[in-house]
Structure 1
């Protein structure tokens, strides 16, 4: 009797083993996806896991493993089943009856800009006796951009005011209908649509709106990411990228035409990064995608050479904003050349807390120190 029982158990184990080996993957679907296609540094998002067992065969235990960059940090609860090395490895266990779907969302915070993707998931299923793991890989295709964090509005506004002052002082030949600067007395050559009727009623005389010129010129932001020092200064370079992103968003919103140029490589073309943003146009997402993909280091054009190449174009009456941490004599000389032909140059210099505040006195350009403040 005992032998029959043991034989029956062995036969049952063998049959269910073969059954699971043959059928556990049938109608088993696994999908891993980022909730958002793009977020900013410091923002939170979620990773969604959807597992469907659409068959009559139950799966007592299914271990799902995925790996993604440790720059995407899971929250405390989701981190419980994660191990972190150069990547963050996440393992979750599911249990299925027949025709069942389970969905889980895993919150995380983006700690660093970049382009992140998950290309595969690894599944391990167990039979009814939990004696043998059955392995399989499930290709995935989900990706997300983490844009450079936008810096404090009040701080970036300081740079915008400096740039606007340069632009407005240089060119008042063409009025910009978006840049209201006050009212004045009516003149017979003024069109009727310029009359400010409320002010006219209050003043007792016809008054008209007057505007400043900003869109009649173009501003170029030059982003320098060279970091050739023995001790790397990644914090200043990353802040330079954030300043560029934030400044571009604000200037385009303020109806300025803008070029962003850098000695960073464009990951799509392999050439140096070049993006044109028309006044008011919604192309800041394109710029942020390119900035998210910028890789530090590598074979880059040096800071001074990068500025020299721009100066060789010999533009006249142009406005430049140079964002660079590199305070070398060669860079200063290049800035001096860049300011020729009545160009105006604003140099934004990121520096770390505790470092000497940059003090640059030069008639050829204006320099502004920018302290890199920590963030969580």
Structure 2
């Protein structure tokens, strides 16, 4: 514990404002965990329609990832973050105040998630820019812990507000984004981020596709993460409906599930970070996938509230490894002139999971049953395990050859 405190004190002071912003942002992230209930129970939409609407609206998050990754490689990351929170506030305000058609809901959801998607790459790049190579994994671990510290209480408070009124959920979220905007505006210098050097202008003009082709190994490592993180966002869609409409619990239990996940992250993240430091990244991703698989099997087989809580306990450990390894690995291995766009690729896999899985799971549940949807979420990390195991084996075979060549 003393070592963690000492390492934290050695981090640049501006990182503290990023961590605090992550805390406040997640503490006030009331809307997204309850969007499914808001659309189904509050607006009277079907489960399938709500899933499709979330998927279409989440296209905004993908666009936000791509836009942010491009902007932070050329512009100041602080400005990108301020813009992201402003857009998010506008979208959620419109989603709360209008009572028109589902098309209007989808539009404002698109705008809100566009802003949400812009924050991730810019925040990740700031952490990479402000921390040294030796500090970077620890810095990302801290950001991850602060996010989940907010998640430990935010959704639970959101559940209390949702019992009273969905309108209060929106007001609370908008207030938190306003506070985050002020923290970044007053706490960070304006010159952090962006590749401004003239010698790099030609490289900065490369498209994302060109960059992905130029770095295939890094691309595969990043994109394969969707096979793991897809479980998280698939369950984010299913858990409120499972607890409320299948297991017949209250809205507060929905918040309690998120709190359990956050509590495990808070208790284990720094321990895990120490254990995985300087280890093979592909091997760590294999271990992460194993936790996801065991967690989902527990939920599918048990199929009750207790099994759900136990399964979340298992795959929360996999989530910790995933969330620390991917951004640290990318920021270490991506070329300097396109670091923001590769960090955006990590967020892109998350946004892709948000788009694919709500619509797909909503369709499966509507046309088949919820068990089939849960089995799909069990197959995904199993495939991820195979992919990362293959990558690890290729790395293991390559390493002895490299050592022989050096000798």
Q: Which band: TM-score by shorter chain?
A: under 0.3
Larger RCO: Structure 1 or Structure 2 (Cα < 8 Å, ≥ 6 residues apart)? Answer: 2
Which of the pair is proportionally richer in strand? 1
Greater C-alpha Rg: 1
Q: What TM-score comes out, normalization by structure 2 length?
A: 0.21
